[in-house]
Chains A and B, each alone.
Chain A
Amino acid sequence: MKLLVCIKQVPDMESKFKIDADGVWYDRGDLAWRMNEYDEYAVEQAVQVKEATGADLTVLCIGPEQVKETMKKALAMGCDRGAHIADDKSHLRDPFQIASLIAAFAQDKDFDLIFTGMQSQDRGSGQVGVMTAELLGLPAVTTIVGFALEGNTITVKRELEGGVKATVEATLPALVTCQLGLNTPRYPTLPNIMKAKKKELLTVAAADLSTADSLLKTVKLTFPEKKGGGVFLEGDVGEVADRLIRILKEKTSVLA
């Protein structure tokens, strides 16, 4: 069995973002980078399937040279090899272009199962996984919070609104997009981090895979307007607490 997990490198969301000179994306300098949180669950699930079945697991990531750091984490978590699709402009590509790159890479490799996160933390479109499946002609299930594989069938739980879940089945080959809470992503151990350094990490140029045109353009990136009216309290915690209590007495009935 052959498995593929697709990951993205994103900035830490606690970062202080600045808008880049073109005004269409955030400034990529001075940021701490990490694996997209949803993708950590995808990697963990893929590694669990690999451990249970002896399958072969490739991790794929699109982006500039620096994404290799994030790929190393996936390799240390248990992926067998990395496929880096080198693309310095990946942050400007729309979801259809990204899906086209993944599909072009996967086209002739007969993956039985493809895992992705349900969305990225920075762009948040939630489209890439499903579009990849469409381009490859595979069935896809989104937003899974439960996963079981038996023979050639996957039984997954989809998370719906209000805490309701749907149980859904599909036959391999298939693609699933992973939601937070699907499992508990492991921390790579030191021996596994050392081993990961020796694993194969091949690089393919994006332009050699796909040159699909963009369907969507970003006109501008802005900071949301603050709604206003909110009061900021700062400084000594004792004073902050006193002022907060005064405000609660004035503005609410909960301390009455």
Chain B
Amino acid sequence: MKMLLVAEYRQKKLLENFTELVAFAGQYGSECAMFLVGDGAELPKFAGRLYLADVATFGEYNPDAHKRLLLDVVAKEQPEMIVFSHSSYGWDLAPRLAASLKAAQVSEVVAVDDGRLVVPACNAKLRRTVAGTGALTIATLQAGAFSLTDAAAGSPEVVSVKADGQGRVVLRGYEAAEHGGVDLTKSEVIVSAGRGVGKPENISLVAGLAKALGGEYGASRPVVDAQWVEHNRQVGTTGLTVSPKLYVACGISGAVQHLAGMKKSEFVVAINTDRDAPIGDVADVFAVADLKQLLPVLTEKLQAL
């Protein structure tokens, strides 16, 4: 199968996630070309043709222009599959291209089953195996779902591309992540609160357990959005990526965005009343219990050790 892989460049850097696209293509033994709006001084380690548009002209985020550039490359390469990362760049650009080309788009691919793409549904409680009905499929890959066993290698054969650089959406700048205070990435034990904590007063139960275990408390996105916990404690795609010795997920269902931030933890304990919650996929121990009852008892027993 002939593939076109779309690499990303942001805040003056080539993003490493292009290696996941290469790993995915490897599953099909595909002949690949790559596309990048980037800087010729920093090229992806990739053995193949690289269609390169200059970021100085076409911008880091200029969807109209990037779509135009890609449409030209697609016309030249005639790929059967165009592959993006399921990232803020990929999920933004891929549907624009899919609508223009009337191609099927498959979002957030987590696996390949007999050549067919598998995606999550219903907060990862279900999986759909899907197939495009036409000659071209556009796929976005879930972060971390595919990885290379060896380091990326090779140097690309660069083909410079240009198009009309006009765009109706204009990037004005970036805002850095909020930092300061606690740094969860250095913590050996993290106890995190999810939506299942129910109300802000119960955060103290989670913080209490964290203290008894000599660690820090964190939270999933809904809890941070509700302003029950500060943003610098948010674990997940849009927050921190952590890999502590022990991660205790309290009332966290395990949305993929959260799992992406904590699945490299050495040991995972889930506390949840829903034994089908997807957090079970990464949990070493799953306590089927109401955290409001279990946490005070557990904390007291730990303090007594």
A140 CA / B119 CA spacing, docked (Å): 25
A159 CA / B170 CA spacing, docked (Å): 15
What is the number of residues of chain B that contact chain A, defined by CB distance less than 8 Å?
93
A19 CA / B131 CA spacing, docked (Å): 19
- Set of chain B residues within 8 Å of A125, measured between Cβ atoms: 105, 107-108
- Which of A134, A169, A215, A216 is in CB contact (< 8 Å) with B169? A169
A242 CA / B300 CA spacing, docked (Å): 11
Task: Tell whether, in the assembled complex, residue B297 and residue A241 are in contact, meaning their CB atoms are under 8 Å apart.
Answer: yes
- Shortest distance from the beta carbon of A199 to any chain B beta carbon, whole Å: 29
Task: Tell whether, in the assembled complex, residue B95 and residue A126 are in contact, meaning their CB atoms are under 8 Å apart.
Answer: yes
A240 CA / B61 CA spacing, docked (Å): 51
- Set of chain A residues within 8 Å of B285, measured between Cβ atoms: 230-231, 233, 244, 247
A224 CA / B122 CA spacing, docked (Å): 11
B289 interface hit (Cβ, 8 Å): yes
Given known A130-B95, A168-B61, A168-B170, contact A221–B302 (CB-CB < 8 A) = no
- Closest A-chain residue to B61, C-beta based? A166
- Which of A122, A130, A174, A242 is in CB contact (< 8 Å) with B99? A130
- Set of chain A residues within 8 Å of B18, measured between Cβ atoms: none
A164 CA / B234 CA spacing, docked (Å): 13
A161 interface hit (Cβ, 8 Å): yes
Task: Tell whether, in the assembled complex, residue A96 and residue B189 are in contact, meaning their CB atoms are under 8 Å apart.
Answer: no
Given known A130-B92, A215-B133, contact A165–B99 (CB-CB < 8 A) = no
Q: Which stretch (A8-16, A45-53, A56-64, A76-84) binds chain B?
A: A8-16
- Closest B-chain residue to A160, C-beta based? B88
B74 interface hit (Cβ, 8 Å): no
Per-residue CB contact flags for chain A residues 100-135 toward chain B (1 = under 8 Å, else 0) read 000000000000000000000111111100110011
- Closest B-chain residue to A247, C-beta based? B285
Per-residue CB contact flags for chain B residues 228-250 toward chain A (1 = under 8 Å, else 0) read 00010010011111000110000
CB contacts under 8 Å to A, within B265-291, are 266-267, 269, 274-276, 278, 280-289
B42 interface hit (Cβ, 8 Å): no
- Closest A-chain residue to B172, C-beta based? A167
- Set of chain B residues within 8 Å of A217, measured between Cβ atoms: 130-133
- Set of chain B residues within 8 Å of A72, measured between Cβ atoms: none
- Set of chain B residues within 8 Å of A55, measured between Cβ atoms: none
B171 interface hit (Cβ, 8 Å): yes
A126 CA / B107 CA spacing, docked (Å): 7
Given known A122-B122, A240-B294, contact A14–B274 (CB-CB < 8 A) = yes
B163 interface hit (Cβ, 8 Å): no
CB contacts under 8 Å to A, within B172-220, are 172-178, 188-189, 213-215
Given known A130-B95, A143-B88, A247-B285, contact A241–B301 (CB-CB < 8 A) = yes
Between-chain CB contacts (< 8 Å), 13 pairs: A17-B125, A17-B126, A125-B107, A130-B92, A143-B92, A162-B241, A219-B128, A221-B128, A223-B126, A237-B298, A240-B287, A245-B302, A247-B285
